[in-house]
C-alpha cells in the first residue's frame, strides 16, 4: 500500500525521480507526475487505466510559469485567471512546444490550472516542473475526495499519497476555452457558469454534448458507482426492490420510505457548495452498502447544481 503522509520533501523527491503520487487539491485528489517527463506521463495513464486520447490537466503555482507553457494568453483568460486562480477553473490555451503531445493527446491546446490547496501549492512552488494530474481514480469510477479514497483504489500502484484532508470543493474544475472571441465552457465544475459570466460576459456551453471528442472528460459513462444508479423517484424504484435493498442520495430531504442508514443527504440547508463537497464521498458510501440499487434525484439547474447534475447524469448512464 502507498504511504499516506504530509511530507512535501518526500513527495518532491519521488516526483523528481519520475514517480507518480497522489496529491490533494480543492476539487478532487490528483494522480500527479512530472508533466515534462514522458515516462512519468505514461505511468499516469497506466496506473489509472486511462485511454491515451483523454488529455491531462497541467498544474502549477504561478501565472508566470503557466505563460511559459502556452503560446497565447488572451485577455479573457487573464480576467478569469485573476478572478478564480488559485481555484477550480481550468483554461484551454494553445500549447507551447515544451508540453508534449502525450499530455494533450495530440491536441493543439493544453489545459492549465493553479489549484487552491495549501500543501499542493507549496509542493508546486518547490518544483521546477509542472505536474500533470488527472483525478486519482481508476478511469470511469467516482473521483476521490480523500487520501483514503485514493489509497483504496490505487494504493498498490503508487508509493505515496500526500494527505491534505477532504477536498473542499469536491467536484472537478470547470474547463473553459476560447474560440474566436467566444468563451466556451467544455466541462461544468467547481466555478459556476454564472460566476464566469459575471467576469467575461455570456459563454457558450458545450458541456452537455457528450459526443464532443474535444473533451473526453465528457465521455458518457463516467464518475460511476458499481451499483446500478438511477435518477428516479423512490416510489418507482420501490416497485422492483425492497426498501432494505435501496440506497438513496438526496439533496435536502430525508425520506420515510427507506432505512435512514441507507440515505445520504447532500445538504440539509440546501447549499450547492456543501452538496458538491459531499457528492462523491456519499456516492462511494452508498456503493459500499448492502443494497441492490442507488436511487437519486436532480438538483435545481443553477449555480453548482448544474455541475452536480452533470456528474449525477453521467454516473447514472449504464452502457
By CB under 6 A, name the binding residues for ligand AMP.
54-55, 57, 92, 104, 107, 109-111, 134-135, 172, 175, 187, 214-217
Q: Residues 131 to 170: which contact Mg ion by CB under 5 A? A: 135
175 binds, among Mg ion, ligand AMP, none (CB under 5 to 8 A by kind): ligand AMP
Cell of 24: 490533494
| Closest distance of CB 137 from Mg ion, Å | 7
Measured from the CB atom, is 48 or 65 closer to Mg ion?
A: 48
Using the CB atoms, write b or e for 182-220: b if 16+ within 10 Å. ebbbbbbbbbbbebbeeebeebeebbeeeeeebbebbbe
Furthest CA-CA distance within the chain: 59
| Closest distance of CB 95 from ligand AMP, Å | 7
Chain residue whose CB lies nearest ligand AMP: 217
Measured from the CB atom, is 135 or 146 closer to Mg ion?
A: 135
Measured from the CB atom, is 92 or 154 closer to ligand AMP?
A: 92
Measured from the CB atom, is 135 or 309 closer to Mg ion?
A: 135
Q: CA 240, CA 227: separation in Å to the nearest integer?
A: 15
Q: Do 159 and 64 form a contact (C-beta atoms < 8 A)?
A: no
Measured from the CB atom, is 95 or 314 closer to Mg ion?
A: 314
* 3-class DSSP string for 171-196: CCCEEEEEECCEEEEEECCCCCHHHH
- Placement of cell 477553473 in the chain: 89
| Closest distance of CB 193 from ligand AMP, Å | 17
Coil, helix or strand for 157?
coil
Measured from the CB atom, is 135 or 145 closer to Mg ion?
A: 135
| Closest distance of CB 139 from Mg ion, Å | 8
| Closest distance of CB 204 from ligand AMP, Å | 15
- Placement of cell 448512464 in the chain: 317
Between helix 118-126 and helix 8-16 the angle, nearest 10°, is 50
Does residue number 109 form part of the binding site for Mg ion (CB under 5 A)? no
| Closest distance of CB 143 from Mg ion, Å | 6
Which residues of the shown chain bind Mg ion in the complex (CB under 5 A)? 135
Amino acid at each position: 500500500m502507498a504511504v499516506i503522509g504530509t511530507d512535501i520533501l518526500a513527495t518532491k523527491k519521488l516526483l523528481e525521480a519520475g514517480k507518480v503520487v497522489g496529491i490533494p487539491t480543492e476539487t478532487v485528489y490528483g494522480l500527479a507526475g512530472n508533466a515534462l517527463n514522458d515516462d512519468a506521463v505514461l505511468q499516469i495513464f497506466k496506473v489509472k487505466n486511462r485511454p491515451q486520447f483523454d488529455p491531462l490537466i497541467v498544474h502549477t503555482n504561478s501565472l508566470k510559469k503557466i505563460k511559459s507553457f502556452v503560446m497565447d494568453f488572451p485577455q479573457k483568460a487573464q480576467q478569469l485567471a485573476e478572478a478564480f486562480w488559485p481555484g477550480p477553473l481550468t483554461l484551454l490555451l494553445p500549447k507551447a512546444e515544451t508540453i508534449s503531445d502525450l499530455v494533450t493527446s495530440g491536441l493543439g491546446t493544453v489545459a492549465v490550472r493553479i489549484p487552491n490547496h495549501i500543501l499542493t501549492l507549496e509542493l508546486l512552488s518547490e518544483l521546477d516542473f509542472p505536474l500533470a494530474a488527472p483525478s486519482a481514480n481508476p478511469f470511469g469510477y467516482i473521483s476521490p475526495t480523500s487520501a483514503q479514497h485514493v489509497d483504496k483504489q490505487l494504493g498498490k500502484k503508487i508509493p505515496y499519497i500526500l494527505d491534505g484532508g477532504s477536498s473542499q470543493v469536491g467536484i472537478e474544475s470547470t474547463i473553459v476555452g476560447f474560440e474566436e472571441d467566444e468563451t466556451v465552457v467544455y466541462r461544468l465544475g467547481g466555478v459556476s457558469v454564472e460566476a464566469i459570466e459575471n467576469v467575461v460576459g455570456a459563454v457558450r456551453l458545450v458541456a452537455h454534448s457528450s459526443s464532443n471528442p474535444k473533451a473526453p472528460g465528457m465521455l458518457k459513462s463516467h464518475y460511476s458507482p458499481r451499483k446500478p444508479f438511477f435518477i428516479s423517484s423512490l416510489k418507482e424504484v420501490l416497485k422492483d426492490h425492497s426498501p432494505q435493498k435501496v440506497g438513496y442520495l438526496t439533496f435536502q430531504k430525508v425520506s420515510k420510505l427507506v432505512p435512514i442508514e441507507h440515505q445520504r443527504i447532500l445538504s440539509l440547508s440546501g447549499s450547492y457548495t456543501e452538496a458538491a463537497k459531499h457528492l462523491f464521498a456519499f456516492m462511494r458510501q452508498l456503493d459500499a452498502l448492502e443494497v441492490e440499487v442507488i436511487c437519486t434525484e436532480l438538483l435545481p439547474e443553477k449555480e453548482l447544481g448544474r455541475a452536480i447534475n452533470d456528474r449525477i447524469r453521467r454516473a447514472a448512464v449504464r452502457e
